Structure 1
Amino acid sequence: MTPAWKLFTCTVGLVAVPGPRGVNVMACEWSYVVNKDPLLVAVVLGPRTASRPLIEDAGAFAITFCAEDQAELADFAGSCSVTEVDKATSDALTLRPGRHTPWVAGGVLAVECRLRQIVPLPVHTMYVAEVLAEHRSTPAPRPLVKHGGMHRLGEPVGRTAVVAATRRLDSGRVRVVATGPGEGPWRVDGADAGPGDARGRLVADVPVAEGARQVRVERDGARPGTAAVTG
């Protein structure tokens, strides 16, 4: 059976960090944004990863979030160690000097980072870092994603239906919250419920008939949604 952790979907990162043998580049599928302001990212590395002591010594590293045409490079960078070979000699790899630390060109986004926190986990170690500089490719390429193997990102999924839920307020009213596409005012059981809030959601306290078990929420251009009335 496939281990559960292989069923997660994530981006593919190329982590670049300077060291005594030059700049090492490793593939890291566990590369994430973990805070917006300040912008913090994290990489999670295994116990035998040669980049761990390099990051701790340098106090800085870069992550390039791979574009879909970098699958071969990501596979190579994740298949050999800096202890075996100087990966920077590969013609498939383009390193830029950076303002704070070197980074790999060609991805969707590259960020230069300063190490802020080391978080020991039972097996792996998380390195949390603050983004000091960013580099974007123009035109913007599509990302490479990891879900078992490496994949191209598909087309955007359009929303077509209303999704609604309720909470009973008293014997005669319920609060209805709904999201969905469409235009114009919201309707609950056929009655106008207003245009929605600043985020486009419906948030409305509406009367319901005694014994009602369900509400129906509609908006022009979307399939209606329903929710149970309980309590």
Structure 2
Amino acid sequence: MKQNWKPGTVLYPLPAVLVSCGATPEEYNMLTVAWTGTVCTTPPMCYISVRPERHSYAVIRRTGEFVINLTTRSMARATDWCGVRSGRDFDKFRETGLTPVPAERVAAPLIAEAPVSIECRVRQVLPLGTHDMFLAEVVNVQADEAYIDPATGRFCLERAEPIVYSHGEYFALGDALGRFGWSVRRKRRKQGR
């Protein structure tokens, strides 16, 4: 039997990402975000939702740019740390040992250790309540070659061991269950029948 649950606890799990921002190395920062996702294919667009009191909020609002960096099992501790410490008080890159590297299309840095980094330009800021949503156009995506299958060119997400966030806990993603449309594909008949 299902029971009523408080409305703020919907649609879990969510990707646990590190959003990097800042126009110069002196202001580079990262914040942990779970309120993120894709909103459109053409043009490619995504969003992050951030509380206005967060240090990075003002940086993103002023620069209009950020990078969504996917996180991995090996980045889990840094991901959590960046979610509970403020860039007002700490240089998060130095404290976590993560490496800022220049992006190609935005001033905000990529995180070298992230398997995928999505460069974004803010198109609109939507005040929603506790969070404001930064609706952004994806202007570039960079993937670590270590996770690209050279034979197929496919990104091997499972090898990256991405993490997700659910109700205050982090989880590593498990095994692939199938490809899009696998539930309706016809089975091949064995030859000779």
1:11 aligns with 2:18: no
Match of 1:35 among 34, 37, 40: 40
1:136 aligns with 2:143: yes
Asked whether the 8 Å contact 1:11–1:145 carries over to 2, the reply is yes
Q: CA RMSD in A?
A: 2.5
State how 1:176-195 maps to structure 2 within 5 Å: 180-183=184-187
Task: Return the offset for 1:131.
Answer: 1.2
Q: Which structure has the larger Rg?
A: 1
Letter in 2 for 1:106: E
Higher RCO structure, 1 or 2 (CA under 8 Å, sep 6+): 2
State how 1:33-72 maps to structure 2 within 5 Å: 33-72=38-77
Asked whether the 8 Å contact 1:69–1:144 carries over to 2, the reply is no
Task: Tell me what 2:28 maps to.
Answer: 23
Deviations 1:168-196 (A, max 9, x none): xxxxxxxxxxx534425xxxxxxxxxxxx
- Distance, in Å, in 1 between the alignment partners of 2:9 and 2:77 is 20
TM-score, normalization by structure 2: 0.77
Task: Return the offset for 1:38.
Answer: 1.1
- Bigger fraction of residues in strand: 1
CA pair 124-137 structure 1, distance change in 2 beyond 3 A: same
- Distance, in Å, in 1 between the alignment partners of 2:138 and 2:120 is 4
Deviations 1:13-61 (A, max 9, x none): 1111116752011110112111111111100112321111111111111
TM-score, normalization by structure 1: 0.65
Asked whether the 8 Å contact 1:13–1:30 carries over to 2, the reply is no
Task: Return the offset for 1:106.
Answer: 2.0
- Distance, in Å, in 2 between the alignment partners of 1:157 and 1:119 is 36
Asked whether the 8 Å contact 2:20–2:110 carries over to 1, the reply is yes
Deviations 1:149-171 (A, max 9, x none): 11111112259xx9xxxxxxxxx
